[in-house]
Chain A
Amino acid sequence: MTAPGGSNGGIRPQEAVERALAAARCDGCVVIADETSSANLRWAGNTLTTDGVSRSRQLTVVAISRDGKDARAGVVSRAGVRADQIEDVVREAEREAGQGSPAEDAQPLLEPGDEVASGASAAWDGPVTSTGIGVFRSFSTALGEAFGAAAAAGQRLYGFAQHRETSTFLGTSTGLRLRHDQPAGQVDMNAKSADLARSAWAGQGTRDFADVDVGALVADLTRRLEWARRRVELPAGRYETLLPPAAVADLLIYLYWSAGAKDALDGRTVFSQPGGGTRVGERLSGLPLTLRSDPSPAAAPALRCAPFVIAHASTRRSSVFDNGLGLQPTDWISGGELAALAQTRHSAGLSGLPVTPMIGNLVLDGRGSASLDEMVGRTGHGLLLTCLWYIREVDPQTLLLTGLTRDGTYLVENGEVTAAVNNFRFNESPVGMLARVTEAGVTGPALSREWGDYFTRTAMPPLRVDGFNMSSMSQAS
């Protein structure tokens, strides 16, 4: 669907950016206009619970006031700004810039000709594409049929489907005009036996729902519910554990978010070098694992993300001064060694490392070719997980994380899944775990259970981990 200009309060986002830049009197200005539309369906126990569509429009103005080497930045972001309110937003940002203290991440704004994104972004002038409830028309029909079949088979289906389109227009007083259109979608599907004792989950990221096969998702869950017909109790302890791609994504997305260069330089993360500096260059895994992000249009469609920095606020891992900076394919871990940390230009200057900002996708590749089923077939005695849940940091020194196994924890004996077991609370560090990975399978699309609402673009292999620390039993089923 294409939204008519009238839906934008009478002004196109491109024009809002130009007007804001024209109104600016400060020493530098960045303007970001975001147009977002989304649609969602949620269900439980074979029936709808909530639904909805929404549209939003956000104008963010970064006003920069320079005084010698110092720069102060005021950031004001407002929803639903009308044409006649644009100048007010700019003035407010300029006022805040005047009131703040010098920004520690101050840098010159990028200009055309600097290392900025070029032809990679969408055409600036084109219309904004929006989504609506219609994106689910065939999906909801298939889902309704699946509810009927599930009820007949003594199953209950729970889950969520969401689709979102965001168009981001970035302009600077130095002449940059960059646009990125990002479709993003996800499906979570959870099947339970009628007595709720058995539960299985599958998730999928999608750009447009054309590739979502409800029947295939439900068939996979039915197979897992069958595995759980036999159930055994296992005590806490360290187990050889097979992590499917979703569970690998659960752990490695958190590792990625924890890989900020500035915190590492400050001596306060697992990636800090004792005595100063960072652990870049240090071996983390004996396997040739590569953890990378690829913002190029050559990335698989499901992974495509913004090819330039879009920063609505400065934080420890992002800087409003870097807006528009072109992103390059980046190895965070290369051949098992820590290769890069998430940088701003400011932190790169402090660390003497390349400028490698965060990117909106994440891929782990271990050069493996085995499927998860094949890895199960080669397992003598171990656990097979489905996904992890309620993951929280316990100790930043080692990046110790805790959390639970969820919706299908299975016992593997002599190459076969023989039973479902109780869930566990784990205490594990994804960094420490990399040293105990003994096998990586083939990399494929993965949706993190824990972080899939925020980070949908991941591809991971299944991993075999030695001595995964299951700290205690959970009664949850």
Chain B
Amino acid sequence: MAGKAIDPGFTAYPLRELAAAALQRAADLGAARADFRAERIREQQISLSDGSLETLFDGDDLGLAVRVVVDGTWGFASAVDLTQAAALRAAAEAVEVAKVAAAINAEPIELADEPAYGDVSWLSAYETDPFEVSVADKVALLAGWSSGLLGHDRIDHVDASLHQVRECKFYADGATTALQQRVRLHPQVTAVAVEPGGRFETMRTLAPPAGRGLEYLGGGAWAGPGAWDFPAELAQLPELLAGKLAAPGVRPGRYDLVIDPSNLWLVIHESIGHATELDRALGYEAAYAGTTFATPDKCGSLQYGSPPMHVTGDRTAEHGLATVGYDDEGVAAQSWDLIAGGVLTGYQLDRRMARMQGLGRSNGCAFADSPGHMPIQRMANVSLRPAEGGPSTQELIAGVEDGIYILGDKSWSIDMQRYNFQFTGQRFYQISRGRLAGQLRDVAYQATTTDFWNAMEAVGGPQTYLLGGAFNCGKGQPSQVAPVSHGCPSVLMRGVRILNTAEEGA
């Protein structure tokens, strides 16, 4: 595919020479171990408000980082210039940081072994690099989507945005030298209706962010496989929004829920993805992101959910936002079980924790969001497996007497041990005697993680599966963001607590 190469503007830097100089300097200054990273992250944000250009921002981040272990203590330093002088200085600064930090370190750092891979490179799966296409073409596409919606008399405002990222990374630790590039997109359109009395509602597209190129947007000069059907989705928005405005408020109580993957991915993210991070279990995030109820002593016995629940962690899913060739410690991408038959069986690891807990090899979850930050354990793609030959969404709905069908993510919140959560959504349909019976509004659901997943009666088939996700998973101090995908089918949950958000706010 033409144009599919690692950004020549990045590979033009003397990456291998910089790495060699920094690693040598670190060793000379007493580091028992060192690794080197260089990154260039291109980012472009385009936002239109009612068809007018609101934000056009094209940014990048560039820099190098050196991480060392000196006398058992981590040291880390980064610099912005990809020059020999900056690399040598960062190595020396990292050693200095380790010496100051030694005053508060009680646990010697050791890393799990990982095979040496030599000099390798990896490119994510995409067709058209969004940075190879003119801003004018992208603005025109969003403007066309906006004007189409603004033509409907029920729609008062339209927000349309496209966030694009191209991440180039170079890693070297003496055993493995990895050069990688990946591309991701997040297109979003939100329609807003304001009633004369002041009440307003919104309806947003369900298209998830994806590790794809511009072909994801469909049509035009960048046509290719894997396009989301935006024309069809945009065509539905006016009527869906009108239906939501006219809908009755939900009556609080317990309901059976059929949850669409466009909503469920976020529940997986919060209540499984973060809960199976070993750094949280070990308390590294205790003062910030929090810990987890799923502690290692329960691994192999905790009935996390019902028997049809099978959850994997992976860095290999094609178009997954957490998919890489190698992580930021040179560990090759893998796929593994986190929950099997409803029972907790695994965690997300980095090399330090894998060694400390005697778990063998790391499963490759070390990631830094920028050259200025030290890698921490970040989330893999965490996905719920569909049932082979399982039911369609329609068939799941048919099994509900009195319930609610939920699509699209919106509001989310979960406590610091990942017990109590509350989610809303884009749209909610009443289910009456196995059939959809119009929209409801002001719906939120609340549950405790293990109660919720143990209430899962059925898992949909592969035909219901969707890879959802987010660009902005936050964790760590200094705060870092990470992109991550979650695949899942539609599911049927029994007896979940529903709140009316208008009553909650009254």
Contacts and interface: CB of A to CB of B under 8 A. Distances in A.
A78 B59 contact: yes
B89 to A, nearest CB: 8
A159 B139 contact: no
Interface in A46-104: 46-57, 60, 72-80, 82, 92, 96, 99-104
What's the dominant secondary structure at chain B's contact region? mixed
A46 B200 contact: no
Contact of B52 (A99, A104, A140, A400): A104
A475 B54 CA distance: 43
A10 to B, nearest CB: 9
A393 to B, nearest CB: 6
Contact of A96 (B56, B61, B105, B371): B56
B505 A398 contact: yes
Interface string A159-182: 110100000000000000000000
A343 to B, nearest CB: 15
A163 B57 CA distance: 27
Nearest to A395: B501
Given A51-B74, A73-B56, A101-B53, A475 B373 contact: no
A315 interface: yes
Interface stretch (A242-250, A271-279, A330-338, A367-375): A271-279
B53 A100 contact: yes
A365 interface: no
A140 B104 contact: yes
Nearest to A47: B106
Nearest to A203: B287
A104 B77 contact: no
Given A47-B104, A427-B501, A389 B200 contact: no
A192 interface: yes
A249 B499 CA distance: 27
B446 A315 contact: no
Q: Which of B373, B374, B419, B420 has the most CB of A within 10 A?
A: B420
Contacts of A476: 290, 293, 415-420
A475 B63 contact: no
B199 A50 contact: no
Given A50-B74, A133-B100, A92 B58 contact: yes
A389 B77 contact: no
A99 B106 CA distance: 56
Interface string A27-53: 000000000001111111111111111
A104 B53 contact: yes
A245 to B, nearest CB: 19
A39 B374 CA distance: 12
A190 interface: yes
Contacts of B187: none
Given A312-B57, A397-B200, A402 B422 contact: yes
Contacts of B422: 394, 402, 425, 427, 471
Nearest to A9: B81
B413 A403 contact: yes
Contact of B420 (A41, A42, A49, A425): A425
A391 B77 contact: no
B106 A432 contact: no
A76 B501 CA distance: 41
Interface stretch (B110-118, B190-198, B230-238, B313-321): B190-198
A133 B96 contact: yes
A140 B101 contact: yes
Contacts of B139: 99-101
Contacts of A273: 198
Contact of A475 (B83, B85, B448): B448
A195 to B, nearest CB: 13
Interface stretch (A17-25, A141-149, A283-291): A141-149
A158 B283 contact: yes
Contacts of B65: 54
B103 A314 contact: no
Please indicate which of the listed interface residues B96, B139, B415, B448 has the most CB atoms of chain A within 10 Å of its own CB: B415
A321 B386 CA distance: 51
Interface string B67-94: 0000001111111111101000000011
A121 interface: no
Given A80-B80, A104-B52, A53 B504 contact: no
Interface in B131-158: 134-136, 139, 143, 156-157
A284 to B, nearest CB: 15
Given A79-B80, A147-B104, A273-B198, A190 B58 contact: no
A406 B65 CA distance: 35
B437 interface: no
A268 interface: yes
Given A160-B287, A266-B157, A53 B62 contact: no
A427 B81 contact: no
- A-side binding surface: helix, strand, loop or mixed? strand
Nearest to B292: A476
A237 B55 CA distance: 43
Contact of A102 (B52, B194, B371): B52
Nearest to B48: A101
A360 interface: no
A267 B47 CA distance: 19
B62 A394 contact: no
B372 A54 contact: yes
A390 interface: yes
Contact of B413 (A105, A188, A316, A425): A425
B49 interface: yes
A234 to B, nearest CB: 15
Contact of B477 (A137, A188, A423): A188
Given A99-B136, A397-B200, A432 B53 contact: no
Give the one of A48, A104, A140, A469 with max B CB within 10 A: A48
Contacts of A414: none
Contacts of B284: 44, 49
B57 A397 contact: no
Contacts of B104: 41, 43, 47-48, 140, 143-144, 147
A247 to B, nearest CB: 15
B287 A275 contact: no
B97 interface: yes
Given A41-B104, A147-B104, A267-B194, A453 B479 contact: yes
Given A268-B192, A474-B419, A48 B157 contact: no
Contact of B478 (A48, A73, A162, A469): A162
Given A44-B284, A47-B104, A100-B136, A52 B76 contact: yes
B62 A79 contact: yes
B473 to A, nearest CB: 13
B442 interface: yes
A431 B230 CA distance: 37
Interface in B347-389: 371-374, 376
B242 interface: no
Interface in A391-419: 391-398, 400, 402-404, 406
Interface string A322-343: 0000000000000000000000
B87 to A, nearest CB: 13
B478 A394 contact: no
Contact of B60 (A77, A136, A406): A77
B79 A55 contact: yes
10 contacts: A44-B286, A49-B284, A50-B76, A55-B79, A74-B135, A96-B135, A100-B139, A394-B444, A429-B505, A476-B416
Interface of A: 6, 9, 38-57, 60, 72-80, 82, 92, 96, 99-105, 132-134, 136-137, 140-141, 143-144, 147, 156, 158-160, 162, 188-190, 192, 196, 201, 266-268, 272-275, 312-316, 389-398, 400, 402-404, 406, 423, 425, 427-429, 432, 453-454, 469, 471-477
In the A-B complex, the 6 residue pairs with the smallest Cβ-Cβ separation, listed nearest first, are: A274-B198, A52-B76, A400-B505, A190-B287, A158-B287, A267-B194
Given A54-B371, A267-B156, 11 more contacts: A41-B101, A96-B56, A96-B58, A100-B53, A100-B136, A268-B194, A268-B200, A272-B200, A395-B502, A427-B499, A475-B293
